[in-house]
Amino acid sequence: MARLVFSLNLVPSSHGFNLSPRNHQTLFVTQTGGAPRFRGVRCQANPESSSDSQEKLVVDDASKEVESSQAAASSSSGFPESPNKDINRRVAAASVIAALALFLSTRLDFGISLKDLTAAALPYEEALSNGKPTVVEFYADWCEVCRELAPDVYKIEQQYKDKVNFVMLNVDNTKWEQELDEFGVEGIPHFAFLDREGNEEGNVVGRLPRQYLVENVNALAAGKQSIPHARAVGQYTSAESRKVHQVTDPLSHG
């Protein structure tokens, strides 16, 4: 806080007060960080003057007047006031929800699950005998990565289903123990890519960019002798965690 003291010599006149060396007046100004605050202005005529009149002028709390004038100027400028914090929070929350909904709608394709893939999959034995290349996915219902990749696998299957077989083998099913050993399945999801004769060209394990699957399946559909991603491993779930159970449906290929 700064306190400034000014000494002025004022003489009353018909137009107000004039400077005079005979009068000694004091102006106290106190500033606390904002607009100056005038504590008081006292003006008194010269005691030696023939006039006994005494004039007094007091200006209290001038900072309030300054603030009021600034507020009035802001209102008259035509600029809208800033929204309060509550409105800001609501706008931010709505933006986050909208962005999340857009991401989920484009990335996850609600409604596609492992059960949908299993229902549309071809039986393993039939896939090996129809003369088409095959993609075999080893999965489990409790595998989070498997569930996450289901929409992408579904899209690829819909695009290439006329040229490539898609097979789903559940690692919980003891029926596929031999295939688990044959393809060396240690983590799921495990995608094995087989040529038209049923020979494995390579495999992809775990969560990897969708393009890996697309390019491999495209190579199979085109009848190429090799696939671009013959061995790639991402984040996966250990196949050792599988909950082995007996086949309840003899016709099931899942």
Q: What is the CA radius of gyration of the chain?
A: 43
Report whether pLDDT(253) > 80.
no
Question: Starting from the edge strand earliest in sequence, which strands make up the sheet with 165-170, in order?
Answer: 165-170, 134-139, 190-194, 200-205, 231-233
Most trustworthy range by pLDDT among 47-56, 74-83, 108-117, 169-178: 169-178
CATH topology of domain 114-234: Glutaredoxin (3.40.30)
Per-residue pLDDT, 110: 53
Cα distance between residue 64 and residue 97, in whole Å = 44
Among the residue ranges 90-99, 130-139, 169-178, 243-252, the one predicted with the least confidence is 243-252
DSSP single-letter state for residue 160 = H
* Residue 89 pLDDT class (50, 70, 90 cuts): confident
Q: Assess whether 43 carries a catalytic annotation.
A: no
Report whether pLDDT(37) > 60.
no
Domain boundaries defined on the chain: 114-234
Per-residue pLDDT, 61: 45
Mean of pLDDT over the chain = 75
Per-residue pLDDT, 98: 72
Catalytic residue among 114, 117, 122, 143: 143
Dihedral of alpha carbons 128, 132, 133, 139, sign: negative
Report whether pLDDT(160) > 80.
yes
Per-residue pLDDT, 145: 95
Q: Is 171 exposed, middle or buried (0-12, 13-18, 19+ CB in 10 A)?
A: buried
DSSP single-letter state for residue 108 = T
Among the residue ranges 25-29, 165-169, 177-181, the one predicted with the least confidence is 25-29
For residue 123, how many other CB atoms are within 10 A of its CB?
15
Report whether pLDDT(171) > 90.
yes
Catalytic residue among 145, 146, 188, 192: 146
DSSP single-letter state for residue 194 = E
Nearest CA to 37 among 59, 14, 10, 68? Answer: 59
- Please report the beta strands in 58-209, taking only residues with DSSP state E, as ranges in sequence order: 134-139, 165-170, 187-188, 190-194, 200-205
Could you give the angle at the alpha carbon of 62 between the alpha carbons of 59 and 63, nearest 5°? Answer: 165
Report whether pLDDT(57) > 50.
no
Higher pLDDT, residue 85 or 219: 219
Residue carrying structure tokens 């999801």:
189
Q: Strand 165-170 relative to strand 134-139: parallel, antiparallel, unpaired?
A: parallel
Cα distance between residue 176 and residue 167, in whole Å = 12
Could you give the angle at the alpha carbon of 190 between the alpha carbons of 145 and 253, nearest 5°? Answer: 100
Higher pLDDT, residue 57 or 103: 103
Residue carrying structure tokens 């009149």:
53
| 44 token code pair | 């008194």
Residue carrying structure tokens 């569930």:
147
Among the residue ranges 45-54, 204-213, 217-226, the one predicted with the least confidence is 45-54
For residue 66, how many other CB atoms are within 10 A of its CB?
15
* Residue 48 pLDDT class (50, 70, 90 cuts): very low
φ/ψ region of 150 (left if φ > 0, alpha if ψ in -120 to 50, else beta) reads alpha
Among the residue ranges 79-88, 195-204, 205-214, the one predicted with the least confidence is 79-88
* Residue 214 pLDDT class (50, 70, 90 cuts): very high
The length of the chain in residues reads 254
pLDDT tens, position by position, 96-124: 887 766 555 444 455 789 999 999 999 99
